[in-house]
Structure 1
Amino acid sequence: MTLYDHSSEDIITRQEAFEQLVKERLQYAVRIAFINVLEEEVTAFIGAKPYERSQHRRDQRNGHYSRHLDTTVGEIADVPVPRTRGGYHTQLFERYHRRRDELDGAMQDMFIKGVSMAQVGEIIETLTGLHPSASTVSRVFHTLQEEYEQWKARPLAQRYAYAFADGTYFTVIYQSEGCKMPILAVVGIAITGEREVLAFRVGDRENQQAWEDLMEDLKARGVKEIGLWISDGNRAMLNAITKHFPTAQRQRCVLHKMENVLSYVPSKQREQLELELKALFSQESRQQADQAVAAFLEKYQKVYPTAVECLQRDLEACLTFYAFPKTHWKTIRTNNVSERLFGEVKRRSHKMAAAFRNEGSCLLLFYAVIRGLTFHKLTMPPASQAQPDLVLLHST
């Protein structure tokens, strides 16, 4: 047997012992760092070191009390926190907050990204030796509520170049039964190109008052003008937009329109017709688009009269995007901006494999997901090169 001939079990035991030693040393170092910071902090607060006579003294020490603090290296036990007669409170951690902020943040991020509450607890236990319960993870997640309330009330810009409006559904428990709950949302693109979710709320997509409430919220927070609204053909939504933003132009989502048109065409003929419909919205100019439309109508007027009637019903709104910068056409001719947003939230909610317990939980998760999204900035042309509508938005 050689000097280095050790069994695998022996190697594993030594490795575990080494890791435990490193962990203990880290915890000891963190504890000493906390003590030093606390002592420096209370000295600055009082204006004098222990037993030091000073004319600048503002308070007197009054012993210590012990705190246990959960950190990313495990629990730090019996940290002596200084007291003073005047009621000093350390800024190192919140008065009743036993867990370091970065640990709470890690639990929030894991849950938001789709890790179950039970799995979050297991991961935290692996990293720190502590095992937060599912209810603890839930409470940590719901600390976002105050941030969400502030976000809902934040002021908005006066003008946006584009706004995308749409709605979707999530399953929520009402009186012990899972029901579809609608959420209405508006995404805006500022005149500088930044993209953000402006607002979202509960409301029936077919209810005009729900859409009006959403529009009124935007105006109450400072929005005065929208250059172009992009949406589907929902009449309740369109009526609310027209009422509150009467000067805004409207772009009908061409994907939704094509789906509506093709629903009147036999399934065997849809593939070819879909290619020709797409071509109407992929021309190099509005003039060429008008020529393509005229040829399409003439070709199919007698073959698919109902489909053609559907296309003509709000055709002008489908072609509005041609009046805006060409580099924006791909973004503004469909409502994919809203669809992708809803997709991100649903991808997270589907991992829960359960309905939301109430509306509040659903709305809070919606906010938690969008706050972590990164939106691409839309390159805006200089005012001198922009179409009239964008020039107006830049100058007013």
Structure 2
Amino acid sequence: MSNAIVSVDEESLKGDLRELVRKTVQDTINALLEEEASEMVGAERHGRTAGREAYRSSHYKRRLVTTSGEVVLDVPKLRGATFQTAVIERYRRRETSVEEAIIEMYLTGVSTRRIEDVSEILWGSSVSAGTVSNLNEKAYASVEEWRGRPLSGEYPYVFVDGIYLKRSWGGSYENVGVMVAIGVNADGNREIIGCAEGFTESKDSWKEFLLWLKGRGLAGVRMVTGDKCQGMVGALEEVFHQAKFQRCTVHFYRNVLSKVPKQKRALAAKMLKAVHAQESPEASAAKAEEVTSKLEEMRLKEAARVVREGFLETLTYTRFPLRHWTRMRTNNAIERLNREIRRRTRAVGTFPDGHSALMLVAARLKYIAECEWGKRRYLDVSLLEEVEA
């Protein structure tokens, strides 16, 4: 005789469990509301006491979206007193965890339309685009507070870069620059220390940005790494004149290879990387001269000129501890953030104004900074003391 086969409708079971949890949450909150009303009235429901302070006057329905689904609350109405519950805030229609989830989805790159669909699936109630916008305004207030927070301690290493986004400007669409700065603090951790809007990467824009960082407490800067933007270099000399400038070696390679024919770029790239693979600044300088001569022999005079005129700016890192060299000679630390910014802003397309672009970029940076990115040790800053000694 064959054994009986038991089949289980998994989807139906999940639906029943979800409804059970939702109903439990609804009954629990309603019970709490009734307890609060009884305490305020001074008598149980349908009770008669001489010391009562108010009278019940039926209920009104109120919907609340929770992570377990949408529940319907029976909120007591009172005569002779105003019922104010501590269970849920007045005028609140969603549980705080739901609002936080919506904001987090938006800041991590989920589109507004997708949030509406996801909220319908998870909580049984869709969230309108207007609601998402209102929640974002609340989030942007905390983002602006984080963006302008005071900086304490020293930041011996700073990375700076700019990224362009499209925005509406006087009826036309133009690029707006957003300047971003990362610092390595005294504990050796990376920290996003600032982002601000600059219409162009001019000297005035960079100077204003650096003065803003300095005004917030940025101090102890010994080296700034970035691409060779003339405006940024000039502003750096005025604001942080004691800091050394390190030209990003990756950007330097790109500038040189742009002067090299495609069929010769692989060989030229290996030659350039050999310059920064040496054990001392003297050896790197000698190798750069050798590479320059080799490029001239290959009839690549323009590429040789770029190497001869710019290689010294790429060797600033050699004045610092050897174990810091690999991470301090490039702008890779900030390029990863730029990719995240582009990914998030690509869904928007063109921003209506510069403030909205800046707020979205700052919100994304805040989200990244509060994740594992800012908690891992990036460098052993104590090695700087050994160099000074």
Q: TM-score band, normalised by the shorter chain? A: 0.7 to 0.9
- The share of aligned pairs that are identical, in percent, is 27
Going from structure 1 to structure 2, the CA distance change for 1:79 and 1:384 (only over 3 Å counts) comes to same
State the match for 1:254 in structure 2. 249
State the match for 2:288 in structure 1. 293
Deviation at 1:97, TM superposition (A): 2.3
Does residue 316 (structure 1) correspond to residue 316 (structure 2)? The answer is no
State the match for 2:337 in structure 1. 341
Whole-angstrom distance in 2 between the partners of 1:329 and 1:384 = 12
Going from structure 1 to structure 2, the CA distance change for 1:217 and 1:90 (only over 3 Å counts) comes to farther
Superposed CA RMSD in Å reads: 3.2
Whole-angstrom distance in 2 between the partners of 1:80 and 1:119 = 32
Contact 1:34–1:79 (8 Å) recurs in 2: no
State the match for 1:332 in structure 2. 328
Whole-angstrom distance in 1 between the partners of 2:230 and 2:254 = 17
Deviation at 1:246, TM superposition (A): 0.6
Whole-angstrom distance in 2 between the partners of 1:233 and 1:168 = 14
Report Cα offsets for 1:215-240 as digits up to 9, x if no partner.
11111111123111001111111111
Query: Structure 1: which 5+ runs fail to align?
Result: 53-58, 392-396
Instruction: Write the letter of the residue equivalent to 1:325.
Output: P
Does residue 156 (structure 1) correspond to residue 148 (structure 2)? The answer is no
Instruction: Pick one of 69, 72, 85 that aligns with 1:74.
Output: 69
Q: TM-score, normalised by structure 2?
A: 0.84
Deviation at 1:146, TM superposition (A): 0.8
State the match for 2:126 in structure 1. 131
Whole-angstrom distance in 2 between the partners of 1:84 and 1:189 = 62
Instruction: Write the letter of the residue equivalent to 1:69.
Output: L
Going from structure 1 to structure 2, the CA distance change for 1:149 and 1:37 (only over 3 Å counts) comes to farther
Instruction: Write the letter of the residue equivalent to 2:42.
Output: P
Whole-angstrom distance in 2 between the partners of 1:60 and 1:367 = 52
Going from structure 1 to structure 2, the CA distance change for 1:287 and 1:60 (only over 3 Å counts) comes to farther
Whole-angstrom distance in 1 between the partners of 2:203 and 2:25 = 58
Does residue 104 (structure 1) correspond to residue 94 (structure 2)? The answer is no
Q: TM-score, normalised by structure 1?
A: 0.82
Whole-angstrom distance in 2 between the partners of 1:115 and 1:198 = 26
State the match for 2:216 in structure 1. 221
State the match for 1:144 in structure 2. 139
Whole-angstrom distance in 1 between the partners of 2:83 and 2:308 = 73
3-state SS in 1 of match to 2:338: helix
Contact 1:66–1:81 (8 Å) recurs in 2: no
Does residue 50 (structure 1) correspond to residue 42 (structure 2)? The answer is yes
Deviation at 1:49, TM superposition (A): 9.1
Contact 1:172–1:359 (8 Å) recurs in 2: yes
Going from structure 1 to structure 2, the CA distance change for 1:290 and 1:77 (only over 3 Å counts) comes to same
Contact 1:65–1:83 (8 Å) recurs in 2: no
State the match for 2:386 in structure 1. 386
Deviation at 1:252, TM superposition (A): 0.5
Going from structure 1 to structure 2, the CA distance change for 1:216 and 1:42 (only over 3 Å counts) comes to farther
